[in-house]
Amino acid sequence: MSNRFLLRDALAEFPPYVPGKPPVSSPGLTPYKLSSNENHLPPLPGVLDALTAAAAVPANYPDPTAAALVADIADRLDVDPAEVVPGAGASEILSALTNITLESGTSVVYPWPSFEMYPILASARGAEKRPVALLPDGRHDFAGLAAAIDDTTRLVLLCSPNNPTGPTIADAELEGFLAEVPDNVIVVLDEAYLEFASEAADGLAARKKHANLVLARTFSKAYGLAGLRVGYGVADVEIATALRQVIAPFSVTAPAQAAARESLARIDEVAVRAKEVAAVRDRFAHDLRELGFDVPDAQGNYVWIALDPEAAVAFEGACAEQAVAVRRLQGGVRVSIGPDEALDRVLKVAAAARP
């Protein structure tokens, strides 16, 4: 590390966040980015107008509490507005959760592979990282997660549907696990892709019994607002108050607040679109399995193809030649659901690479 500035030594150990690559252009082929689990559908009707109106006075700060958005979310979920914490994406909520719980000498338990931010945030807080390997079918190993908790553990992260592998957590699994976790340890259920799932644990219901359960949600995926950066946490009032202490004021911009409110008002359309994406995902996953690939239960807006490292490099490269960017991670390749033309090209690559 450089000696020029008094930076933390730990920075050298931070795992890098590798964003999804943009597609490489290829003559005659429309490029597609299926590497960041973005929503490929056009904006919901009304959202662009709401954005324009909210951006009319860029000189003004937004409402720092996002009170109207918080009220809409609380109303929709039937929770107390004091339990809703808005942030610049679920990422900011996850970051704040690590900020209020972790420090040197503490530990955080999470499944792995899962969302890449988890180990990065743990490193940022100087906490011990305790990744627990997923089961072979891409699901959380709850016995392993419970066994990894000790009296240094301040935070447990769960992801349903799990990014990148795809399966959700079931109600019984969540309930059984929460019954084992000390009730002063915060457990986060990251539900970034919940709207695409046909079956998933009901985090809202579980919270009623377990005050240490916090939900992390986002408008980035099913609502298609990733570029605006808006998400929220649902947490016990004491935890929510701590979260507000560490989140930067004004982090959710006025256009983001307005677009999220407009989208919530159109939640039925959001649900229809999420179902459309899920139907395409199911067909795509089925076709890949028919070709002989190992594809776990896919419940998000993406499909995981388990591959050995060499095959994953080859698969990613063959997709790039077709002007399609997919995401290669440890243990395989993740393909976000996109337009049919893009998925057809991936299927062509898969047919040529069948195991």
Ligand X SMILES: Cc1ncc(COP(=O)(O)O)c(C=O)c1O
Mode of pairing for the β-strands spanning 186-190 and 153-159: parallel
Mark the segment that binds ligand X (CB under 6 A) among 21-29, 89-97, 166-174, 321-329.
89-97
Of 90 and 298, nearer to ligand X (C-beta) is 90
Residue of 192, 254, 277, 326 that binds ligand X (CB under 6 A): 192
**The tokens of 49 are what?**
């107008």
Of 190 and 195, nearer to ligand X (C-beta) is 190
Distance CA 151, CA 106 (A): 9
Distance CA 65, CA 251 (A): 9
Report the nearest approach of ligand X to the CB of residue 244 (Å): 18
Mode of pairing for the β-strands spanning 332-336 and 302-306: antiparallel
Residue 118 binds to ligand X (criterion: CB under 6 A):
no
Report the nearest approach of ligand X to the CB of residue 77 (Å): 17
Q: Where are the beta strands (DSSP E) in the chain?
A: 32-33, 84-87, 107-112, 128-133, 153-159, 186-190, 213-218, 231-234, 302-306, 324-325, 327-329, 332-336
Mark the segment that binds ligand X (CB under 6 A) among 102-110, 122-130, 218-226, 327-335.
218-226
Residue of 100, 108, 159, 342 that binds ligand X (CB under 6 A): 159
Residue of 32, 110, 115, 223 that binds ligand X (CB under 6 A): 115
Report the nearest approach of ligand X to the CB of residue 141 (Å): 17
| DSSP line for 225-280 | -GGG--EEEE--HHHHHHHHHHSPTT-S-HHHHHHHHHHHHTHHHHHHHHHHHHHH
Residue of 51, 84, 90, 108 that binds ligand X (CB under 6 A): 90
Cβ distance 108 to 326 under 8 Å? no
Report the nearest approach of ligand X to the CB of residue 117 (Å): 7
Report the nearest approach of ligand X to the CB of residue 245 (Å): 20
**Whole-number Cα distances in Å, 2 to 5, 7, 12, 120:** 7, 8, 10, 21
Q: Give residue number: closest CB to ligand X.
A: 89
Maximum pairwise Cα distance, the chain: 59
Of 43 and 291, nearer to ligand X (C-beta) is 43
Report the nearest approach of ligand X to the CB of residue 91 (Å): 3
Residue 226 binds to ligand X (criterion: CB under 6 A):
yes
Reference 190, options 124, 115, 260, 251; nearest CA is 115
Mark the segment that binds ligand X (CB under 6 A) among 53-61, 85-93, 247-255, 286-294.
85-93
Mark the segment that binds ligand X (CB under 6 A) among 84-92, 235-243, 287-295, 341-349.
84-92
H or E element in which residue 208 lies: helix 203-209
Structure-token match 């030649």, residue found: 321
Report the nearest approach of ligand X to the CB of residue 65 (Å): 19
Residue of 163, 251, 263, 336 that binds ligand X (CB under 6 A): 163
Residue 302 binds to ligand X (criterion: CB under 6 A):
no
Of 115 and 350, nearer to ligand X (C-beta) is 115
Distance CA 127, CA 143 (A): 22
Residue of 220, 251, 263, 301 that binds ligand X (CB under 6 A): 220
Residue of 86, 119, 231, 255 that binds ligand X (CB under 6 A): 231
Reference 219, options 210, 207, 211, 227; nearest CA is 227
Which residues bind to ligand X, rule: CB under 6 A?
A: 37, 89-91, 115, 159, 163, 190, 192, 218, 220, 226, 231
